[in-house]
């Protein structure tokens, strides 16, 4: 396993990070624990979760699963860089969501109880709260750091100017600021190249790419479709909204994905490995978050670490999936 410093910090994390959003929904607790143990065995030292994962309103179910795994001991907590998030509504009552100082305090204490630990390594804002001043957010985070409940602060799904605003306020407070920003990033989702990546590079903020396979669309989806492994819906069958969105995205990008899978066949490489290797090779990206449903998916993802993409392949990938280019040149002279 390769390790790198997260942003400008001294914290070293594995280039592959274990995402847990399937734990408790598509992955049973027993299987989740097997995946967590296997991740450590493979050298993956960062586990990423959220109080919203598990999708049981207000329960933080995935955090509970991870907490029961950590409670087994055996050095699990000491070997894990534990990252969780807050933002989503956790109860049907005011001040039980978003990023007010009150909710930050309550949410952290609740996550600590569920995770069965006394500190969180990276406490992340899962989304932007446009109604809460950044001064209030940093004030609350400072209290948690002083209490020893969190070590680092991260963000997720923030625009470049949000990162800049948070970092400038942190600088004013003589605070180290964000250690990382978690953004969607893949060959199919390159918007962060406009301003998020440059902002993070300027401020020394690490970047963690989530959905590097674009929800499986870059993992050989058309070959699986040909093999009838996608569970094609029956005529008249209702499809879940998230699956509808995925199918619509597949149709929008089908010609490009066809070219992509042909390129992968010519390379003799697994499409998932190509997509992961591309993300890990992007400037400013410290790690990629993979969210396996099964143990086989975890071990399969590790192949992306050893695949090297040459210059000709990278040029061809840019032709198939052109990025937006840097701002402001991408939309101005």
Sorted by where each begins, the domain ranges of the chain are 3-216+270-311
Cβ atoms of residues 217 and 232 within 8 Å: no
Task: Output the six-digit token pair for 74.
Answer: 């055996």
DSSP code of 178? E
Compute the average pLDDT of residues 32-57: 97
Q: How many residues does the chain have?
A: 333
Compute the average pLDDT of residues 131-154: 98
Decide if pLDDT at 329 tops 60.
Answer: yes
Mapping DSSP to helix (H, G, I), strand (E, B) and coil, where does residue 297 land?
helix
Task: Output the six-digit token pair for 251.
Answer: 């149709």
Decide if pLDDT at 237 tops 60.
Answer: no
Give tens-digit pLDDT for 267-288.
Answer: 999 999 999 999 999 999 999 9
For domain 3-216+270-311, the CATH superfamily is NADP-dependent oxidoreductase domain (3.20.20.100)
Q: Mean pLDDT score of the chain, rounded to an integer? A: 94
Decide if pLDDT at 236 tops 70.
Answer: no
pTM summary value? 0.94
Compute the average pLDDT of residues 108-118: 98
State residue 241's pLDDT score. Answer: 67
Higher pLDDT, 159 or 240: 159
> Using 50, 70 and 90 to split pLDDT, how confident is the model at 101?
very high
> Using 50, 70 and 90 to split pLDDT, how confident is the model at 244?
confident
Instruction: Kindly list the catalytic residues.
Output: 53
State residue 234's pLDDT score. Answer: 38
Decide if pLDDT at 238 tops 50.
Answer: no
Cβ atoms of residues 212 and 288 within 8 Å: yes
State residue 233's pLDDT score. Answer: 47
Whether the CA torsion 176, 118, 184, 137 is positive or negative: it is negative
Compute the average pLDDT of residues 114-129: 98
DSSP code of 23? B
Compute the average pLDDT of residues 160-168: 98
């Amino acid at each position: 396993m390769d390790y790198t410093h997260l942003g400008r910090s001294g914290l070293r994390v594995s280039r592959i990070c274990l995402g847990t959003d399937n734990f408790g929904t598509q992955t049973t607790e027993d299987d989740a624990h097997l995946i967590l143990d296997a991740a450590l065995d493979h050298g993956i030292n960062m586990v990423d979760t959220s109080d919203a994962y598990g999708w049981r309103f207000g329960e933080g179910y995935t955090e509970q699963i991870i907490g029961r795994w950590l409670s087994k001991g055996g050095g699990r907590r000491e070997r894990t860089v534990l990252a969780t998030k807050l933002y989503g509504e956790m109860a049907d009552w005011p001040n039980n969501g978003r990023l007010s100082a009150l909710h930050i305090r309550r949410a952290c204490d609740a996550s600590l109880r569920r995770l069965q630990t006394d500190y969180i390594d990276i406490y992340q804002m899962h989304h932007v709260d446009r109604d809460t001043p950044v001064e209030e957010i940093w004030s609350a985070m400072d209290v948690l750091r002083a209490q020893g409940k969190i070590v680092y602060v991260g963000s997720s799904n923030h625009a470049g100017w949000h990162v800049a605003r948070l970092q400038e306020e942190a600088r004013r407070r003589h605070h180290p600021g964000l250690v990382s920003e978690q953004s969607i990033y893949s060959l199919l989702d390159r918007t962060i190249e406009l301003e998020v990546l440059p902002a993070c590079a300027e401020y020394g903020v690490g970047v963690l790419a989530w959905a590097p396979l674009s929800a499986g669309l870059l993992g050989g989806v058309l070959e699986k479709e040909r093999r009838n492994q996608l569970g094609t819906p029956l005529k008249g069958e209702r499809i879940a909204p998230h699956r509808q969105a995925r199918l619509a995205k597949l149709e929008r990008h089908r010609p490009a994905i066809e070219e992509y899978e042909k390129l992968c066949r010519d390379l003799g490489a697994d499409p998932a490995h190509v997509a992961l290797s591309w993300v890990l090779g992007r400037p400013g990206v410290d790690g990629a978050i993979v969210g396996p449903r099964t143990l086989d998916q975890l071990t399969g993802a590790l192949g992306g670490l050893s695949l090297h993409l040459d210059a000709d392949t990278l040029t061809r990938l840019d032709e198939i999936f052109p990025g937006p280019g840097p701002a402001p040149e991408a939309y101005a002279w």
